A = this chain, B = another copy of it.
Amino acid sequence: MATITVLGAGMMGSALCVPLVDAGHDVRLVGTHFDGEIIESVTKTGVHPKLKLPLPSAIRPFFVEQLAEAMRGVDAVGIGVSSAGVRWAGQQLRPFVQPGLPIVMITKGLELAGGHLDVLPDVLAQELGSQGEPSIAPVAVAGPCIAGELARRVETCVVFTGRETQALEELATLCQTRYYHVWTSPDVVGIESCAALKNAYAMGIGFAAGLHEAAGGAPGSVALHNYEAAVFAQAVREMQRIVMLLGGNPASAAGLAGVGDLNVTCNGGRTGRFGRQLGLGIGVKRAIEAMQGATLECLEILDVMRQALHVYEARRVLGSDELPLLRHLMAVALDDKPIAMPFSDFFSGRS
Q: Which of B156, B181, B226, B260 contacts A154 (CB 8 A)?
A: B226
Consensus secondary structure, chain A interface = helix
Q: Within 8 Å of chain B (Cβ to Cβ): is A302?
A: no
Contact A144 B176 (CB under 8 A): no
A219 to chain B, nearest CB (A): 10
Contact A226 B343 (CB under 8 A): no
Which residues 177-216 of A have a CB within 8 angstroms of B? 181-184
Given the known A-B contacts A183-B347, A254-B253, are A146 and B222 also in contact in the complex, defined by CB atoms under 8 Å?
A: yes
Contact A255 B149 (CB under 8 A): no
By a CB distance below 8 angstroms, the chain B residues around A343 are: 155, 157, 181
By a CB distance below 8 angstroms, the chain B residues around A269 are: 221
By a CB distance below 8 angstroms, the chain B residues around A341 are: 155
A168 to chain B, nearest CB (A): 12
Copy number in this complex?
Answer: 2
A252 to chain B, nearest CB (A): 11
By a CB distance below 8 angstroms, the chain B residues around A259 are: 232-233, 236, 254, 259
By a CB distance below 8 angstroms, the chain B residues around A28 are: none
Contact A225 B146 (CB under 8 A): yes
Contact B347 A225 (CB under 8 A): no
A55 to chain B, nearest CB (A): 15
Contact B350 A184 (CB under 8 A): yes
Which residues 157-178 of A have a CB within 8 angstroms of B? 157, 176
Q: Within 8 Å of chain B (Cβ to Cβ): is A90?
A: no
Q: Within 8 Å of chain B (Cβ to Cβ): is A268?
A: yes
- Looking at A145, A269, A347, the one whose CB has the most chain B CB atoms below 10 A away is A347
Given the known A-B contacts A181-B351, A351-B157, are A145 and B226 also in contact in the complex, defined by CB atoms under 8 Å?
A: yes
Q: Within 8 Å of chain B (Cβ to Cβ): is A59?
A: no
Q: Within 8 Å of chain B (Cβ to Cβ): is A256?
A: yes
Given the known A-B contacts A229-B144, A346-B181, are A236 and B222 also in contact in the complex, defined by CB atoms under 8 Å?
A: no
Q: Which B-chain residue is minimally distant from A156 (CB atoms)? A: B226
A212 to chain B, nearest CB (A): 9
Q: Complex formed: what's the CA distance from A254 to B237 in Å?
A: 7
Nearest 5 interchain pairs by C-beta:
A144-B229, A233-B260, A157-B230, A229-B264, A225-B268
A-B pairs with beta carbons under 8 Å apart, 9 shown: A144-B232, A146-B225, A154-B224, A156-B227, A157-B230, A181-B351, A226-B268, A229-B260, A232-B260
